[in-house]
Structure 1
């Protein structure tokens, strides 16, 4: 009995100890939950009865410069599945697979998942919404989202870009101005009961969002449409891979149109190959060809190494080192002024001019005009162009630069550079966005016109424009002429290496009473017999510009001023050797000559041409100081054949060359081949008969 009582007692003590330990554990657990970790459990409890909903913001509208809407946001339905409410997953998946064009297995997997709700397809069109809604499928509902819509379809698609399914910008201005356009999402917090119903007097809090800002462009929808239409028309006439057109207001850098082909519809961008999305006017480079001669001419005129009246010669080619550079004219243009070199688009003439500038000077002008760097237009993936490194440029490279070969530029770089010529030498930053409207006038973001730098003087810019007018009036650009309007411009044709494929272009300056417009047209990878810029790009320019002038209500002027006309007056070069540079320059300019000073000395030791030579009014006389000699300059040898002895001597002296005549009559042979570049001290023997 005693043993039994002892056993019972031990059992009671044991069970009491167990219960006590469990009680202590329970107390500790309660202390852990209610004191130490109370915040976490409070949050969990609150999250079960408090739901947070994201309230999407409205993406900003994109307008053209007249207030026309180019990009807007519209409400769109999204198909949502509630797996717990789906009655017949097999039948539901089968019906939706056909309507949504999604595989049966994918839909079945989604509607049988553990998720409370899952998106099946976002932002469907209204027709599809009506079809699905009419079926009243159990467990399938809809939520409303905002969908980006481009009312003009393909128009300006490369500029505007597009957004993804989440309404974030993926291309164009939609991407580069995404932070301004997308706004900031808000949220709503409501309290739910155990069955998920909103408690009428429960917690309710709203955190307001912010709609995206509206963006106003410089683009004119009508001019943009005209540009795209002309590219489309060109596709029907020529065999090329694509094209670009830029219309720019040179006075402020505003881009009025930027068109590219092939195009795409940003409402359905996924239906087009990615190459169609590329904005070739910004992202791609090409050899500018003869359009770059405008840069060479403006730089040389600014440096004073040439004037429009200087005499140059073209035997059909010129030699630089061992390389022969040919003219497009098989027999050359013979003796001509620089004004005629520009009008005739003569490669040897431009080579001669380019080499008159030393490498450092010419390279600095190329950079100053903005080539080799981004323009800052603020579009995605803007290319910098390809300008060879300074140390890798020799005389041959310098020569080819002069007529636009051996370097690559973007269309926007070329249009911006030529706009500086149209704008009195001021290089403007190209502008696509005028204003970002924040809804608060004092905080609106205004993109004011911005002058990057003064590249050349106004007088040089005006002279260059006059030279370009004669190109359109009577030179290689006559296909771009429009009766009654002052238009200057330049054609360009660049052959791809080792291929019979060309990039053809025309860039024109259209002068009006209030501003000068610059219009660039480029057709890439042209094949076939018709490929010159004068045959292809120039007519596109003419048709487009004619429509633009009519749209802007700019009337023709039948009395408009003609381009540069050559002054045929000849003057005798005075002897200024031994004079100070200051006095010599004053004397020469007073007599109607241009002057180029070479060297740092104060006294003129040599001059070119020599004293007593008769040459054109306003042609250049080179003056050399101590340490510099005219023999350091290589002079291109003309083709004297067919000239009389007197004609040959006069031309040689104007060029700074010396002749030795053998015989009488006309020149039938010469000791130095035409187009070779020699020192002025080297004598040329001519055979006359």
Structure 2
């Protein structure tokens, strides 16, 4: 059956094969080439614009980031990089040694070691390691084995091994041991000069003595340096500044003489034990310049073991405690009276044994009178009555002004730490009450430090000048050359040389004829004054039965220079006086001082003639 042409045409149009073979229309033939020529170029331009945009955006972002890094944060990042590449290092510098005036070492830094054990690294048994280490560490081997078994690493076996012991352990070449070096302050004379030198704590800071007061002189100055760090973090010493580890060889030299210090300590300890005293002190001063040749106090402590000591011992009580001087102040009062012209050296006073002042009765220590006595005899017998009569010739206001000129009620200028201010009544109270000048005349009713009393007697010994007591001579090098000398206040002229020489000659009679006979040394003219004072109570008044005994000496009388002072607090016994307790101490110290200072005899010692 023949298909209709229209149906066949419809199928062809619906057949894809026929559709692809169909000729395009003229309009399509004219449009198709143009369409194919424009699309690729447009697409290429679009892609190019996109790439350019990305590159420009990336460039802008990079530029902005570089600006942020190099300009905005540049300085901060540079410093951060330097901090990562460099390390600040402050080299450890030992403290300067302390030496006495003869170069004897009183304090020095020495290397010590901390020993750590790491049992997990042992290449020997715990028992074998313990056997080798026990004798070096002064420990029991069995105890060491238990210590090794307690943990695998980081065991502290010793914290301050001497250098020699550390070297012996190193020579054993034992695996599993670690020695860390550090420095420790060492005091070779132990307690001999502890009250002057002091000690340093675990942080290497001075806590007492010149270790505290002269910290700036003892600490070597060293500046922080920056060293380069390698990529693995190790330091590169090649980049260290030249000589940055160099330090000086300066030493802090004191005026103390160890020989005299030892003699004073031994004499003081002997008398303290004999009289069962609470404490005591000895001070030796060169009155020409105030340098202290010896300063001893008992009881004391060993600065190498300061943690075992009573904390109260760290303050030197000769500068940090007050006391009433008693009769040792009488020569100073005589000098004040002579200087003001209210007495003459040959004046005579009547001592009936008691005197009434206001509502008070003042008596001599022995409760007896000495009759008519001159000023020298007042000192010889330590007459309270005579002293009251001398001071009564002075107007109270004038007397008070002189006490202030001497420095009473003030601190003493010294290079020793923890000094305290003396106590003196106010001027109004002193002038208004007649009993105040009276008791002050024989050394009671006010208080000062032992060092201040020595300073005042120094003025009697050197022609009337108040000098500064001190223990620091300066910084010297290993050859003995002085590099630094401290500046002390200019001495103040208080008394005339005529007055002081008369007082010293009066004090000589105390040694030759009075209460100071126990300090006599054949061939030498010695001036002195004893003191046996009641001990003041912190709550007011005086402690019943408690006394402070003392003796001060000046040597030699014909050319006074040295002041030696001994003080013993609360000696026991009926025969405990300045003459019996303190004077023998001073004599023993003088017997050591004379050959050390090469003091010639005051009087020619005649050789016995033949046949005699």
In the superposition, the TM-score normalised over structure 1's length comes to: 0.68
Higher mean displacement: 122-131 or 534-543:
122-131
Partner of 1:384: 421
Name the counterpart of 2:561: 516
2:195 to 143, 158, 166: 158
What SS does the aligned partner of 1:534 have? helix
Equivalent residue number for residue 444 of structure 2: 405
Q: Which residues of 2 match residues 548-567 of structure 1 at below 5 A?
A: 548-558=593-603
Kept after mapping to 1: 8 A contact 2:263/2:588:
no
Deviations for 1:222-249, whole angstroms, at most 9, x for unmatched residues?
Answer: 1111111111212321111211111111
Q: Secondary structure at the match of 1:163?
A: coil
Q: What displacement does 1:40 show?
A: 3.4
8 A Cα contact 2:529 2:552, kept in partner = yes
Q: 1:484 aligns with which of 523, 544, 547?
A: 523
RMSD: 4.0
1:346 aligns with 2:391: no
**Aligned-pair distance for 1:439?**
9.5
1:522-569 C-alpha deviation (Å, 9 max, x unpaired): 011223323211110011111221222233343434459xxxxxxxxx
Q: Which moved more, 1:463-472 or 1:494-503?
A: 494-503
Task: Provide the rounded CA distance (Å) in 2 between the counterparts of 1:229 and 1:367.
Answer: 36
Q: Corresponding residue for 1:324?
A: 361
* Match in the other structure for 1:563: none
After superposition, the Cα gap between the structure-2 partners of 1:340 and 1:193, relative to the gap in structure 1 and judged at 3 Å, is: closer
Partner residue in 2 for 1:8 = none
Paired residues of 2:461 and 2:500 also in contact (CA < 8 A): yes
Deviation at 1:452, TM superposition (A): 2.3
Q: Which of the pair is proportionally richer in helix?
A: 2
Q: Displacement of 1:364 after TM fit?
A: 1.9
Q: Which residue of 1 aligns with 2:405?
A: 368
1:575-606 Cα distance to aligned partner (Å, 9 max, x none): xxxxxxxxxxxxxxxxxxxxxxxxxxxxxxxx
- Separation in 2, partners of 1:365, 1:481: 32
Query: Which residues of 2 match residues 187-266 of structure 1 at below 5 A?
Result: 187=224, 189-198=226-235, 203-205=239-241, 207=244, 210-211=247-248, 213-266=250-303
Gaps of 5+ in 1: 1-16, 113-118, 561-689
Aligned to 1:73: 109
SS of 1:506's equivalent in the other structure is strand
Q: Tell me which residue corresponds to 1:682.
A: none
Cα offsets for 1:363-412 (capped at 9, x unmatched): 12222223222221111111121112111212101100000011111111
Q: How far off its partner does 1:304 sit?
A: 1.4
Q: Is the 8 A contact 1:317 1:348 kept in 2?
A: yes
Query: 502, 513, 520: which is aligned to 2:547?
Result: 502
Per-residue CA deviations over 1:274-319 (Å, capped at 9, x if unaligned) read 1222211111111101001111111111111112322211221111
Tell me which moved more, 203-212 or 468-477.
203-212
Q: Cα gap change, 1:189/1:311 in structure 2, threshold over 3 Å: closer, same or farther?
A: closer
CA–CA distance in structure 2, aligned partners of residues 29 and 62 of structure 1: 61
In structure 2, the residue corresponding to 1:300 is in which secondary structure? Answer: helix
Once the two structures are superposed, residues 437-461 of structure 1 have per-residue CA deviations (whole angstroms, 9 ceiling, x without a partner) of 4899999332467642111111111
Q: 1:297 is matched with which residue? A: 334
Give the corresponding residue for 2:583: 538
Q: Does 1:173 align with 2:218?
A: no
Distance 1:391 1:135, change over 3 A: farther
Rounded Cα–Cα distance in structure 2 between residues aligned with 1:31 and 1:143: 49
Q: How far is the alpha carbon of 1:467 from its aligned partner?
A: 0.8
Could you tell me which residue of structure 2 aligns to residue 268 of structure 1?
Answer: 305
Matched residue of 1:387: which SS? Answer: coil
CA distance in 2, matches of 1:111, 1:26: 52
Query: Residues 502, 21 of structure 1: CA spacing in aligned structure 2 closer, same or farther, 3 A cutoff?
Result: farther
**Equivalence for 2:73:** 37
What 5-or-longer segments of structure 2 have no aligned partner?
A: 1-52, 536-541, 606-612
CA–CA distance in 2 between the matches of 1:516 and 1:546?
Answer: 15
- Indicate the SS of the match to 2:545: coil
Paired residue for 1:416?
455
Larger deviation: 208-217 or 545-554? 208-217
Note if 1:144 corresponds to 2:181. yes
Instruction: Give the TM-score, by structure 2 length.
Output: 0.76
Aligned length: 528
Return the alpha-carbon distance in structure 1 between the equivalents of residues 356 and 86 of structure 2.
85
User: Which whole-Å CA distance do the structure 2 matches of 1:450 and 1:61 have between them?
Assistant: 26
Deviation at 1:346, TM superposition (A): 0.6
Q: Is the 8 A contact 2:315 2:418 kept in 1?
A: no
Higher relative contact order (CA 8 A, sep 6+): 2
- The 1:343/1:412 distance shift into structure 2, 3 A limit, reads same
Distance 1:341 1:200 in 2: 77
Where in structure 2 are the equivalents of 1:586-605 lying within 5 Å? none
Q: 1:54 to 1:406 in 2, by over 3 A?
A: same
Q: Tell me the distance in 2 between the aligned counterparts of 1:461 and 1:484.
A: 22
Aligned partner of 1:670 in structure 2 is: none
In the TM superposition, what is the alpha-carbon distance from 1:87 to its structure 2 partner?
A: 7.5
